[in-house]
Structure 1
Amino acid sequence: MTTTHAPKILFVDDIPALCEEMVTTLRGEQLDADSNLSPLAAIPEIVQGKYDLVITGLVIAELGGFEIIRRIRGAGCRTPIIMITGFGTEQSAIEAARLGVADYLTKPIERKELIARVKRVLKQYATPQTEQPGSLVRMISGDPKMNEIFEKVKTIAPTDSRVLILGETGCGKQLLAHAIHQQSQRKQEPYVEVNCAAIPANLLESELFGHEEGSFTGATKRRVGRFETAGQGTIFLDEIGELGFDLQSKLLHVLDNGKFTRVGGNKELRSSARLVSATNRDLMKEVELGRFRADLYYRLNVISIELPPLRRRPGDIGLLAQHFINQFVPKGSQPPTFTPSTVEVLRRYPWPGNVRELQNVAEQLAVLNRGPRIEATDLPSRILQARPVETISPTAQRQVQLGFRKAKDQFEKEYLLTIIQQANGNLAEAARLAEMDRGQFYRLAKRHGLTTNTDS
């Protein structure tokens, strides 16, 4: 919420007289208040961010107060909510707190107390920033890891350091690069993108550095390259792992001294642009395989940022899906909201195409869906039929990077060590716990160097 407008408050309940009384009370304190008798009609407006505070009743015929909150939160909306009820119980208060309700009031409510509570919540959730917490230019997230990345970007963006962005295809590397430029001192200068994988290798040098007329067949006039166009701004080289070895050498020369020449030219030009690069490859592995220059890698990797894939931040899936739906619905139409069960189905899908795939699905749903809610049955069949995402432990992630024999040996050693520790160093007891023959267990422990403690 911003401080550039008077806070807008919405009261949701199905009792007309109560709605009228509440709005009159709030407006009497110069608060911009409105009411809605239909929760299903109110939720899309709330999710779009039209209100700075929502007050809702608990018992509503069309949709109960807790379900209203679940749908709002399930859509990724963090607007503060106050719940009012005439049937207050300890259990309902606990549930309200669990759902993140900002305040919980039971009737009868004194007018002064109501106003005081409303103003306290508005003050508590007010923020002077124009950006919402957990946002960065055109990126939003509720994931702690992503928010750490956003804060890191805000720290490094004002510097001139080169940045290497790592991550799977479609996870937002392009958006993050643009955000770095927008947060930097160079934001008034050009921002130039080059997708190194989308341009034929024989044309990429000309694309980057330009060429002179007649320098090769088809060069009918001089061309200004992307480094020259970037000037003192930012140049973003996406999929930099696709550069050929020859072009890597020429890029290294530019990074070393800022100098380059157009293809077929003799005039030395200078580049003052900041370089941000990205790749979905493991560049260190490419270096080890001799496909990427080590000296170039270290010049690119001054500061590295690794974006997690969407399946590793399931809490963002509902938030982003609703964000994209809001963008794609026709102007003037109310965007549909995702039911909690639909969000759960979306979270179980592995999203191999990451955020880009989710954006495409949201656009499809915005075009085809005409109801106020998106049910699980509205989702594409590949999502409904997908196997749930399996969480891989850090140990397993390390092991799958090893060969089978090394992974097996590592597992055996860790398993034996754990069992021996549980048996307080008694190998006979450890063998019993492992359901193994004592001699076999001893030989295996000895092979892994775990028999320094005497068997007791």
Structure 2
Amino acid sequence: MAKTSRQKILFIDDIPALCEEMVDTLRGEHLDAESNLSPLDAIPKVVQGDYDLVITGLVIAELGGFDIIRRIRGAGCRVPIIMVTGFGTEQSAIEAARLGVADYLTKPIERKELVARVRRVLVEHAPAVPERPKSLARMISGDAKMNAIFEKVKTIAPTESRVLILGETGCGKQLLAHAIHQQSKRSKEPYVEVNCAAIPANLLESELFGHEEGAFTGASKRRVGRFETAGKGTIFLDEIGELSFDLQSKLLHVLDSGKFTRVGGNNDLKSHARLVSATNRDLSKEVAQGRFRADLYYRLNVISIELPPLRERPGDIGILAQHFMNQFVTDGRQPPTFTTSAVDMMKVYPWPGNVRELQNFAEQLAVLHQGPRIEVTDLPSRIVQHALGVPHASPTESAERIPFRKAKDQFEKEYLLKVIQDANGNLAEGARLADMDRGQFYRLAKRHGLTTNSDL
């Protein structure tokens, strides 16, 4: 079913008059609402993503409200759900909270209150508004710093100048190097990439410059090195800060003379390749501490580009997460979208693994998540707990020692306690800070023993 720009609401109940009244109320406030008298007919439509919000009664002859929620959640659908009942009890409110309903309303409900609650839930669970990213080769970004880098690359790529890319591990140095090649006049020539940290030091010289037959034990035939393979194209030396002093000297010779010799050979070969290099180290400090040759550093650092870590460009988090999600969902279904609240929480997390960590996170969700939206409750505990200031237990402690239900209750209690402390013990203010319905907040606080009689 094609989605419109308006958010669609479904009310499920078996009382025709109530369905008509509910739909009329919501449509009267310019909300796109409809009803269904049959839960068994409604659930498949909800699961396939036809609606942005579900409102259900509690007592329905065909299938009760809690069973409706269980079936929807059991199918992997995370659509927000509001429960409306005239038979509200403390136990039913606790069960609704346990099942993750977005709100719980008891009759009678004033028209304005209903509409306000519905609008609040729609806003909280709305898909994040995609920013308009700019692209460079395989890179995309909506961040001003990154866009400035893209423009810089477009300027320097057509030149012959060497480029040194600086930045933390996982922030996109490889992609940027490839983009420089693609934007250059050498784009139709070979692009050769070497990770200097991934090859043992005793083999790296042969990898770079090649070797002759019999040059060393195991050299049964001539090997063409990466500089030779690159021809008139681009050679990218990643993690160049890991080169040994001996190899630094030999690379310096190539940069000065344009010549190199295969290991065990006597004939000089000419390098015509453009060099782009990258490192996650501060090479100026490495030079000062005697671990990197100053003359090589200055020859590499003709033009430098420093890629900011992901935590310094939070506007890219939602863009990249959705981009990766769209790439990884390959089974024909519509890729799930991240809600605004989920993206906001993701922006608080520091992403120590940078874009690579975000990519792995998106791939995991693409495989495991089947619903149309990704909510805060779908995010890994490390992201949620960091955003809430809750210490994150190690995977061994959380998975092996604490059952899921107990871990969930513990997290819920710690969250409520922190909010109540921030509100100086005022539960009404705590509900406001948590952006929760006051009644729901009170019930959860009471369940965890965080209230007194005077609070109620």
**TM-score of the two chains, using structure 1 as the length reference:** 0.59
Q: Describe how 1:59-78 pairs up with structure 2 within 5 A.
A: 71=126, 73-76=128-131, 78=132
Partner Cα distance (2:215, 2:51) in 1: 64
Work out whether residues 189 and 231 of structure 1, in 8 Å CA contact, stay in contact via their aligned partners in 2: yes
Higher mean displacement: 227-236 or 133-142: 133-142
Q: Which amino acid aligns with 1:344?
A: D
Question: Is the 2:172–2:355 Cα contact (8 Å) retained in structure 1?
Answer: yes
Q: How is 1:258-297 mapped onto 2 (pairs within 5 angstroms)?
A: 258-297=258-297
Structure 1 residue 345: deviation in Å? 1.2
The residue type paired with residue 289 of structure 1 is Q
Q: In the TM superposition, what whole-angstrom CA distance separates every residue of 1:217-238 from its partner, at most 9, and x where no partner exists? A: 1111100000000000000000
**How many Å separate the matches in 1 of 2:48 and 2:199?**
51
Specify whether residues 257 and 339 from structure 1 end up closer, same or farther in structure 2 by C-alpha distance, changes over 3 A only.
same
Partner amino acid, structure 1, of 2:266:
N
Aligned to 2:197: 197
| 1:215-230 matches, cutoff 5 A | 215-230=215-230
For residues 122 and 332 of structure 2, the distance between their equivalents in structure 1, rounded to whole angstroms, comes to 26
- 1:21-44 deviation per Cα after TM superposition (whole angstroms, max 9, x unaligned): xxxxxxxxxxxxxxxxx996599x
- Deviations along 1:104-133, one digit per CA (max 9) or x if unpaired, are xxxxxxxxxxxxxxxxxxxxxxxxxxxxx6
Q: CA deviation at 1:213?
A: 0.6
- Aligned-pair identity in percent equals 76
Aligned runs of 1:25-424 on 2, under 5 Å?
71=126, 73-76=128-131, 78=132, 134-386=134-386
Instruction: Tell whether the 8 Å contact from 2:142 to 2:315 is kept in structure 1 after alignment.
Output: yes
Q: Which amino acid in the other structure matches residue 362 of structure 2?
A: A
CA contact (8 A) 2:128 2:343 kept: no
Q: Within 2, Cα distance between the matches of 1:249 and 1:156? A: 27
**Structure 1: 4+ residue segments shifted above 3 A:** 9-15, 38-43, 63-76
Contact 1:13 1:39 in 2 (8 A): no
Task: Note closer, same or farther for the CA distance 1:260–1:14 as it changes in structure 2 (3 Å cut).
Answer: closer
Q: What is the letter of the counterpart of residue 219 of structure 2?
A: A
Kindly tell me the number of residue pairs found equivalent between the two proteins. Answer: 290
Return the letter of the residue paired with 1:213: E
Deviation, structure 1 residue 375? 1.1
What SS is found at the alignment partner of 1:203?
helix
Summarize deviations over 1:41-80 as a string: whole Å, max 9, x none.
599xxxxxxxxxxxxxxxx99x97996899455344x4xx
The equivalences for 1:419-438 within 5 A come to: none
Q: Which runs of 5+ in 2 are unaligned?
A: 9-46, 53-114, 390-456
Question: Contact 1:191–1:233 at 8 Å: present in 2 too?
Answer: yes
| C-alpha distance 299-385 of structure 1, shift in aligned 2 (>3 A) | same
Q: Aligned with 1:208: secondary structure? A: helix
- 1:276 partner letter: V
Residues 254 and 74 (structure 1), Cα distance of their counterparts in 2 relative to 1, 3 Å cut: same
Is contact 2:128-2:338 (8 Å) kept? Answer: no
Q: Give, in whole Å, the separation in 1 of the partners of 2:338 and 2:6.
A: 21
SS of match in other structure, 1:235: strand
For residues 360 and 264 of structure 1, do their structure 2 counterparts lie closer, same or farther at Cα, with a shift above 3 Å needed? same
Maintained 8 Å contact 2:260/2:269: yes
Displacement of 1:380 = 1.5
Q: Is the CA contact (8 Å cut-off) linking 2:49 and 2:371 kept in structure 1?
A: no
Q: Is the 8 A contact 1:350 1:388 kept in 2?
A: no
Q: What is the match of residue 409 of structure 2?
A: none
For residue 146 of structure 1, give the secondary structure of its aligned residue in structure 2: helix
CA separation of 1:39 and 1:144: change in aligned 2, threshold 3 A = farther
CA distance 1:40–1:256, shift in 2 (3 Å): same
- What's 1:81 paired with? none
1:224-259 CA distance string (max 9 Å, x none): 000000000000000000000000000000001110
- TM-superposed deviation, 1:378: 1.2
Give the deviation of 1:14 after TM superposition. Answer: 8.0
TM-aligned CA deviation for residue 344 of structure 1: 1.2
Distance 2:249 2:388 in 1: 44
Shift of 1:12: 3.5
1:330 deviates by: 2.2
Tell me if the contact between 2:341 and 2:376 (Cα under 8 Å) persists in the aligned partners. Answer: yes
RMSD: 3.0
CA apart distance, 1:326: 0.5
C-alpha deviation, 1:387, in angstroms: 5.3
Distance in 1, Cα, partners of 2:361 & 2:258: 43
How far is the alpha carbon of 1:286 from its aligned partner?
0.3
TM-aligned CA distance change 1:325 to 1:299, over 3 Å: same
Summarize deviations over 1:268-324 as a string: whole Å, max 9, x none. Answer: 100010000000000000000111000000000000000000000011101100010
- Distance change (3 Å), C-alpha of 1:67 and 1:165: farther
Cα 1:70–1:175 change in 2 (3 A) is farther
Matched residue, 2:64: none
1:274 & 1:329 partners in 2: Cα distance? 37
Task: Name the aligned partner's letter for residue 146 of structure 1.
Answer: M
* Kept in 2: contact 1:74–1:338 (CA 8 A): no
The structure whose RCO (Cα within 8 Å, separation 6+) is larger is 2
Q: 1:41 to 1:178 in 2, by over 3 A?
A: farther
TM-score scaled by length of structure 2: 0.59
- Classify the secondary structure of the residue corresponding to 2:148: helix
Match of 2:425? none
Match of 1:109 in 2: none
Q: Secondary structure at the match of 2:334?
A: coil
- Residues 323-370 of structure 1 show CA distances to partners (whole Å, capped at 9, x for unaligned) of 100000123110001111111111111100000000000000000001
Please state whether the residue corresponding to 2:386 is helix, strand or coil: coil
